[in-house]
């Protein structure tokens, strides 16, 4: 039997790590397949908190699927190839478990795709457990809950689906935690930005999107004090300029999200600032502007940028 590697996107967030961990467990227990969850980067501090809390070892970090001797992979929490493993086009994508838009995706063979507009890929994985008559053990339930909490900012994001609160309640019972108490502690663990260099800060949670021929990098950091992050604006901008030059980004958009008050400051640098301003109907002053009520990159930033760059 051939082995499957299961992984989330580059610069993995908690949902990427949790959903791949949960789906690999399901592949082994429900379908009898040899599946290993790996990661395309080191866990961030929020994810590390969840892993330690539930006693789960961090997944191995891999850079090449072919180097691992596998021919088939399963993607969770992403489908766009530029967000995936470096040699994604050299292996067969056997399945995709995701809750994002579909773009830049094509396969030679049929595959299993499960795409649902819910708050997290972890939500989808949990439903698959129930459909297959399996109850996730405490550590799996805890990680899936963590992925859901992370992607919905404790069920406060507009990406939260009507079914997600019930999913969270069921997973919390299985994991033996209080959703609010555990969730806030986990989210706060990911807001310690003072120890990060500017290069690390802009890469904590960043994805590249191809928008009408432009490589647009959209990054997000969570904080409890936006002003504290903006005090580092000069070094952050220098890191952005450096990353853009090295990787060919036409534009770089950084969301600085206040997890307490559910707002964001947008810091943007690049060749198409007119399109960024049009996307959000604001004016950048000193390269940044306030975006009230914005906490979701997937729903409140990327679609608006996609429309604006397409015009």
The mean pLDDT value for 32-49 works out to: 96
Is residue 22 pLDDT above 90, yes or no?
yes
The per-residue pLDDT of the chain, averaged, comes to 96
Length of the chain: 311
**Angle, CA of 199, 200 and 204, to the nearest 5°:** 130
Is residue 195 pLDDT above 90, yes or no?
no
Report d(CA 82, CA 281) in Å as an integer: 28
User: 77 among the known binding-site residues?
Assistant: yes
User: 15 among the known binding-site residues?
Assistant: yes
CATH of domain 4-190: 3.90.1640.10
Is residue 249 pLDDT above 70, yes or no?
yes
266, 280 contact by CB (below 8 A): yes
Helix count and strand count (H, E) for the chain: 12, 10
The mean pLDDT value for 230-247 works out to: 97
pLDDT per position as a tens digit, 88-125: 999 999 999 999 999 989 899 999 999 999 999 999 99
237, 287 contact by CB (below 8 A): yes
Query: Side-chain half-sphere of 134: how many Cα atoms within 13 Å?
Result: 20
The mean pLDDT value for 9-36 works out to: 97
User: 9 among the known binding-site residues?
Assistant: yes
Query: What pLDDT, on a 0 to 100 scale, did the predictor assign at position 99?
Result: 97
> Binning pLDDT at 50, 70 and 90, where does residue 1 land?
low
The mean pLDDT value for 28-57 works out to: 96
Query: Side-chain half-sphere of 139: how many Cα atoms within 13 Å?
Result: 11
User: 274 among the known binding-site residues?
Assistant: no
> Binning pLDDT at 50, 70 and 90, where does residue 2 land?
confident
Burial class of residue 196 in the structure, from the number of CB atoms within 10 Å of its CB (0-12 exposed, 13-18 middle, 19+ buried): middle
Please tell me if the domain spanning 4-190 has the same topology as the one spanning 198-310.
Answer: no
What is the strand order of the sheet 112-115 is part of?
35-37, 4-7, 72-76, 92-98, 112-115
In 3D, which of 137, 191, 126 has the Cα closest to residue 165? 126
Give percent above pLDDT 70 in the chain: 100
Domain range summary for the chain, segments of one domain joined by +:
4-190, 198-310
**Angle, CA of 238, 287 and 272, to the nearest 5°:** 95
Report d(CA 126, CA 132) in Å as an integer: 10
DSSP H helical segments within 32-120, as ranges? Answer: 45-53
Query: What pLDDT, on a 0 to 100 scale, did the predictor assign at position 104?
Result: 85
Please give the CATH superfamily to which domain 198-310 belongs. DHHA2 domain (3.10.310.20)
What is the residue whose two structure tokens read 């997290």? Answer: 120
In 3D, which of 264, 275, 177, 286 has the Cα closest to residue 220? 264
What is the residue whose two structure tokens read 């698959």? Answer: 128
Query: What pLDDT, on a 0 to 100 scale, did the predictor assign at position 303?
Result: 96
Query: What pLDDT, on a 0 to 100 scale, did the predictor assign at position 210?
Result: 94
């Amino acid at each position: 039997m051939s082995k499957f590697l299961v992984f989330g996107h580059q610069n993995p967030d908690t949902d990427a790590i949790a959903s791949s961990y949960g789906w690999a467990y399901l592949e082994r227990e429900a379908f009898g397949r040899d599946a290993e969850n790996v990661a395309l980067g080191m866990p961030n501090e929020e994810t590390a908190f969840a892993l330690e809390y539930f006693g789960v070892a961090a997944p191995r970090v891999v850079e090449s699927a072919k180097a691992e001797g596998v021919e088939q992979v399963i993607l969770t929490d992403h489908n766009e190839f530029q967000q995936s493993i470096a040699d994604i086009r050299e292996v067969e994508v056997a399945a995709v478990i995701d809750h994002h838009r579909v773009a830049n995706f094509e396969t030679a063979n049929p595959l299993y795709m499960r795409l649902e507009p819910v708050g997290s890929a972890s939500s989808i994985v949990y439903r698959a457990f129930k459909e297959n008559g399996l109850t996730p053990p405490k550590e799996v339930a805890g990680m899936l809950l963590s992925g859901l909490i992370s992607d919905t900012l404790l069920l406060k994001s507009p990406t939260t689906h009507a079914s997600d609160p019930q999913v969270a309640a069921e997973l919390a019972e299985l994991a033996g935690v209080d959703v609010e108490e555990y969730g806030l502690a986990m989210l706060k663990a990911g807001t310690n930005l003072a120890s990060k260099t500017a290069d690390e800060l802009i890469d904590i949670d960043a994805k590249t999107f191809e928008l009408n021929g432009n490589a647009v990098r959209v990054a997000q950091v969570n904080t409890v004090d936006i002003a504290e992050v903006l005090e580092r604006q000069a070094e952050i901008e220098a890191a952005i300029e450096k990353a853009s030059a090295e990787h060919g980004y036409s534009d770089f958009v950084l969301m600085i999200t206040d997890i307490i008050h559910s707002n964001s400051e947008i810091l943007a640098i690049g060749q198409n600032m007119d399109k960024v301003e049009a996307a959000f109907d604001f004016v950048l002053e000193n390269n940044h502007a306030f975006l009230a009520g914005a906490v979701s990159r997937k729903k409140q930033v990327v679609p608006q940028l996609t429309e604006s760059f397409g015009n």
